[in-house]
Structure 1
């Protein structure tokens, strides 16, 4: 199966994207802070939610923000998700207000911040200072399906991908999608949070028991909330509620909704039998030295 996912010489690449320290990145990722991460003015009480794209980041951030505000939705309902929560490496040409580097300087502490950077590209001072890190991961089969649709929905960010899912799956397995190799990214952060008292969440567990997830985040952030407030926060952050919210599931970028299905097991509608078998071989080899496991449906 070693050659099953082999890319041909003409595999899909976006001319304006770039590779930095082995990681394929989009043009919206700031190069100056990759080269000089010390430019970030990190504070010891910063809180980071980190993930590989399409793994439950938005959900986790909305939960964390409501928890930090003791369940008061006033701020969460004041403006869009991207305008409330700085995406630290994000530098979009079309939306200068959402430049993460600038935005993070304009919010009060404790700051809730987002990143998709792999650990070796993340600002090291944040780790050295012991900033709180919540890392959320999703099984890679559902991740690649969701990412495939995201690529198609946002051509201004990811190029005009016209290939089918099978072609995209090859790109994903070879780490030739934005933010690079899922295995390196996930294992790097998983090992860090396990060894440094971070909080590790799995998307599938969040779907199974959302109330328990809210409690875990609240405890990690040292927020003592009543059962009533926990239930209210959990309800406000249900997938159905978030999908209806124009502040979270905004459609202004390319006219497409940001949230799609949020399902566990949707990969079965896309993988062929042979693709699934080949992917399982890759997965088992890459994950053989890790204790990390996932639910697939």
Structure 2
């Protein structure tokens, strides 16, 4: 089955790509913090939302921030999503506010922080300081479908990708997309989460019962919120509301929406039957005995 997803030697590479500890990364990821994680200056009351890209990160962050502000939307509507919640490993000179390390330094505690780093590249001190971790995961077929569209929508980050989905799927299955192999990423964090005080959320479960996700996050962070506040936060963070928000979606800036569909099962519009069967074979082999399963619809 490895031959089915075999990559051409001249596979697509993002601008400024580099590999660090076997993980494929891009120039907008600050390499010096991978080499010197103490630069992050982690605090024990930091709260991290961690995920592989295109797994429901933005939604989870918006829910969490509103919970940490007891449902008050004032801060949420003060500046855009990326400026409010530091993306810790991010550094893009053309957007100074999106320098993760500098943004962390000026945030008051408790800080809400975002990362897509696999666990073996994550600042290890954070794993032993009592920090809060909210990990959100999405079924990998929808993840790769959404990531493919994101590559095309963000040329400033991922270059001028014009390949078709089948080619992108090969990149994904070989770990040659930014942040590397989905299976290694997911299993690495899953192992850590099972033995530590962390919250694990599945995107598909959040879609089925968004209010339950709000309740789980609030409980995990020890926020005792009334039903009216829980309902307000859940409604405020609905996909339709976030997509319409100029503080969360960036359609007017990028020309294409940052938030696309937010749907489950969209992979069926992209995978061929052969790709689906080959993917399932790889998935079943690599995820066996993990105890982790997904809703594919």
Instruction: Tell me the TM-score normalised to structure 1 length.
Output: 0.98
- Are residue 185 (structure 1) and residue 185 (structure 2) matched? yes
- 1:46-195 correspondence to structure 2 within 5 Å: 46-195=46-195
How many pairs are equivalent?
297
Q: Corresponding residue for 1:221? A: 221
Q: Deviations 1:176-218 (Å, cap 9, x if unpaired)?
A: 0000000000111111112102000000000000000000000
Checking the alignment, whether the CA contact within 8 Å between 1:50 and 1:134 is kept in structure 2 is yes
1:18 aligns with 2:22: no
Q: Secondary structure of 1:200's partner?
A: strand
Separation of aligned partners in 2, 1:52 and 1:252: 25
> How do 1:269-284 residues align onto structure 2 when only pairs under 5 Å count?
269-284=269-284
Equivalences for 1:203-214 in 2 at 5 Å? 203-214=203-214
Structure 2: distance between partners of 1:116 and 1:212 = 24
* Residue 253 of structure 1: how far off its partner (Å): 5.1
In 2, the alpha carbon distance for the partners of 1:183 and 1:124 equals: 20
- Aligned to 1:119, the other structure's residue is in SS state coil
1:225-276 CA distance string (max 9 Å, x none): 0011000000000000000001000136532210000000000000000000
CA contact (8 A) 1:204 1:295 kept: yes
CA distance in 2, matches of 1:129, 1:84: 23
Contact conserved, 2:15 with 2:27, CA < 8 A, in 1? no
1:48 counterpart SS class: strand
> Which position in structure 1 is the counterpart of 2:243?
243
Q: Answer whether contact 1:135 1:199 (CA < 8 A) is retained.
A: yes
SS at match of 1:12: coil
SS at structure 1 position matched to 2:247 = coil
Unaligned runs of 5+ in 2: none
Contact kept? 2:15, 2:157, Cα under 8 Å: no
Give the unaligned 5+ runs of structure 1.
none
Let me know the Cα RMSD of the aligned residues. 0.9
Structure 2 CA distance for partners of 1:88 and 1:243, relative to 1, 3 Å:
same
The runs of at least 4 consecutive aligned structure 1 residues that moved more than 4 Å come to none
